[in-house]
A = this chain, B = another copy of it.
Amino acid sequence: SYPDYENAAMGVGGAGGSASRYSLSTRSDLSLGSRSSQPGGPLHHPAGGAKSSATVSRNLNRFSTFVKSGGEAFVLGEASGFVKDGDKLCVVLGSYGPEWQENPYPFQCSIEDPTKQTKFKGMKSYIAYKLVPSHTGQQVNRRYKHFDWLYGRLVEKFPVISVPHLPEKQATGRFEEDFISKRRKGLAWWMDHMCSHPVLAQCDAFQHFLTCPSTDEKAWKQGKRRAEKDEMVGANFFLTISVPAGGPAVLDLQEVESKVDGFKSFTKKMDESTIQLNQTVNEFARKQVAGFKKEYQKVGHSFRGLSQAFEMDQQAFSVGLNQAIAFTGEAYDAIGELFADQPRQDLDPVMDLLALYQGHLANFPDIIHVQKGALTKVKESKRHVEEGKMEIQKADGIQDRCNIISFATLAEIHHFHRIRVRDFKSQMQHFLQQQILFFQKVTQKLEEALHKYDNV
């Protein structure tokens, strides 16, 4: 079974939903939030500062991600299992280097209509989401705890794949409309990243989650048990990876190291800038909801005050102006409301995207750690061969398996860059389109007000 996170009260990191969205948050809060929103199965604790002091023999640090992920066992040739054809994951060489082979049957999956449901004769309430995967067209209903179960399986199974984080848990206010709406959007983003990933999209546990009829309790449990008994997890997962055969398919170690190091710097910088952008956007939203709205409505109020004073003069030549100024006051009130409503349209989606990417950025240190661990093993084995302490065949085996991890890591990095460019492009476009619409609405309000003066 799996821990029922949804019903467990969470600490600081897990709490805080849409209600506190525009409250002041510091950089450290955000870092904490993005990290602690990672439920993490037992195999997936953040590596933190733990340094691997790997030798070709077993690593002494049993808490190293390289060890826990199964990366070490695989590199040392200790993994074994039968890989079915359907389980094979191909890395191919694209124009930018290693890439995951594209999903030949791409699909998407909508998440709509979160509805409150009850069981045990109303003793227990929960929110169910309607999922409709495009490749089946069959609706299934899932709860957050189902997503959470799936997430645990994926994290366990795929050591060098960045499994998108689920939207954060929340102890209180689970049935509040804002929270539900925010979670639905978070789950939709999560789903988008799941479907976009060639490996994750095709994995059995995910397909079971997407396609098992909600009413067939038995089939659901069978699929769950199958996923939980999956042997091709961790070290064995690497066995399922096929890399291109032949000479050019062996990656140059130094080149890989330099690429991975470059990506490490990239993620660090991107992490910093997304944290900063998130802070800015959050603060900007807060200002629009509070300060900007207030300022425009104060202007509206003052114009209405002026029109009320002017209304004391009811001469025919004055009446039209009085009404026009009153209307102008109302227009500024309305503009204040527009400012307050706007963040939902443009800034909130930006924050949703940033939250998703902060999850990925939190995943990559572990992925990089596994790859680094494998590289270290290769270097050590070469030294051992030179020193006559190791047979060349064994060292070649280590290098081959490290090559597989490098292929997978670079494919994952490539995938990250691809979806990053895709997502930030579309999100920036959406943001700007919404901002433009907003300022056009403001302009329209002002034009309506201006026309009231035409016949004064």
A328 to B315, CA, bound (A): 51
Q: Which residues of B contact A11 (CB under 8 A)?
A: none
Complex contacts, A428 vs chain B, CB 8 Å = 321, 324-325, 328, 453
The secondary-structure label for the interface of chain A is helix
Whether A417 lies near B313 (C-beta < 8 A) is: yes
Bound form: Cα–Cα A440–B279 in Å: 28
Distance A280 CA – B304 CA, assembled complex (angstroms): 12
A:23-82 near B, CB below 8 Å: none
Given known A-B contacts A291-B291, A298-B284, A453 and B440 have beta carbons under 8 A apart: no
Chain B residue with Cβ nearest A318: B421
**Chain A: interface residue total (CB-CB under 8 A):** 61
Known interface pairs A276-B302, A280-B298, A321-B425; A266-B313 also in contact (CB < 8 Å): yes
Closest to A316 in B: B96
Q: Give the interface centre of A277, A281, A308, A417 by most chain B CB atoms within 10 Å.
A: A277
Closest to A450 in B: B432
Q: How many copies does the complex hold?
A: 2
- Give min CB distance, A384 to chain B, whole Å: 36
The answer to whether A277 touches B306 (Cβ under 8 A) is yes
Which of B280, B308, B317 makes the CB contact (< 8 A) with A269? B308
Distance in Å from the Cβ of A4 to the closest Cβ of chain B? 37
| Those of A412-456 within 8 Å (CB) of chain B | 417-418, 420-421, 424-425, 428-429, 432-433, 435-436, 439-440, 442-443, 446-447, 449-450, 453, 456
A292 within 8 A of B: yes
Within 8 A of B (CB), among A103-136: none
In the assembled complex, which residues on chain B have CB atoms less than 8 Å from the CB atom of A272? 305, 309
Across-interface contacts of A244 in B (CB, < 8 A)? none
Among B281, B291, B421, B447, the residue within 8 A (CB) of A321 is B421
| Contact of A266 (CB < 8 Å), options: B96, B309, B421, B432 | B309
Q: Name A309's contact: one of B269, B301, B315, B447 (CB within 8 Å).
A: B269
- Which residues in B have their C-beta under 8 angstroms from that of A312? 262, 265-266, 269-270
Chain B residues with Cβ below 8 Å from A440 are: 443
Give A436 to B298 CA distance when docked, in angstroms: 19
| B-side contacts of A269, CB under 8 Å | 308-309, 312
With A306-B273, A318-B421 in contact, is A443–B453 under 8 Å at CB? no
Question: Which residue of B has the minimal Cβ distance to A301?
Answer: B280
B432 touches A436 (CB 8 A): no
Closest partner residue, chain B, to A296 (CB atom): B284
Contact A429/B417 with A273-B309, A299-B281, A439-B439 known, Cβ cut-off 8 Å = no
Q: List 14 A-B contacts (CB under 8 A).
A: A277-B302, A280-B302, A313-B417, A315-B417, A321-B424, A324-B425, A328-B428, A425-B453, A432-B447, A432-B449, A432-B453, A439-B439, A439-B446, A440-B443
Q: Which 6 A-B pairs have the closest CB atoms?
A: A269-B309, A280-B302, A273-B309, A277-B302, A432-B450, A273-B305
Q: Which residues does A use to contact B, with CB under 8 Å?
A: 96, 262, 265-266, 269-270, 272-274, 276-277, 279-281, 283-284, 287, 291-292, 295, 298-299, 301-303, 305-306, 308-310, 312-313, 315, 317-318, 321, 324-325, 328, 417-418, 420-421, 424-425, 428-429, 432-433, 435-436, 439-440, 442-443, 446-447, 449-450, 453, 456
